[in-house]
């Protein structure tokens, strides 16, 4: 599973007014998907960034989510897609 990370620079003064929501969509057939979803969620939340999982992605963790892919796109400021090129294309089509 490939994970592409981009650096978001936030000044300390903006942390009090800035809040970001990241939606996560993952390929359920990729080995290590559950671990990667959990690791990404933990790191983001440690930085005060909220996460939400798309409903099929939540099932990977044995959880439930109220968000379909299009709803997640409406809710999230950014969508993190975990998988390969096909997963990214599929996610783009669905949202």
**Spatial separation of the C-alpha atoms in residues 88 and 8, rounded to whole Å:** 21
Which of the four pLDDT bands, split at 50, 70 and 90, describes residue 2? very low
Query: What pLDDT does residue 19 have?
Result: 82
Q: How much is the pTM?
A: 0.79
Look at residues 74, 82, 87 and name the one whose alpha carbon lies nearest to residue 44: 82
The candidate with the shortest Cα–Cα distance to 37, out of 19, 18, 20, 56, is 56
pLDDT at residue 90 greater than cutoff 90 = yes
Summarize pLDDT for 35-65 with one digit per residue, the tens. Answer: 999 999 999 999 999 999 999 999 999 999 9
Write down the pLDDT at residue 91.
94
């Amino acid at each position: 599973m490939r994970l592409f990370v981009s650096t978001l620079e936030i000044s300390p003064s903006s942390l009090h007014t800035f809040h970001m929501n990241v939606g996560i969509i993952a390929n359920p057939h990729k080995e290590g998907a559950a671990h990667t979803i959990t690791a990404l969620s933990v790191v983001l939340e440690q930085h005060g960034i909220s996460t939400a999982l798309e409903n099929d992605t939540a099932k990977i963790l044995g959880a439930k989510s109220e968000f379909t892919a299009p709803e997640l796109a409406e809710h999230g400021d950014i969508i993190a897609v975990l998988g390969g090129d096909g997963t990214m294309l599929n996610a783009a089509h669905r949202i």
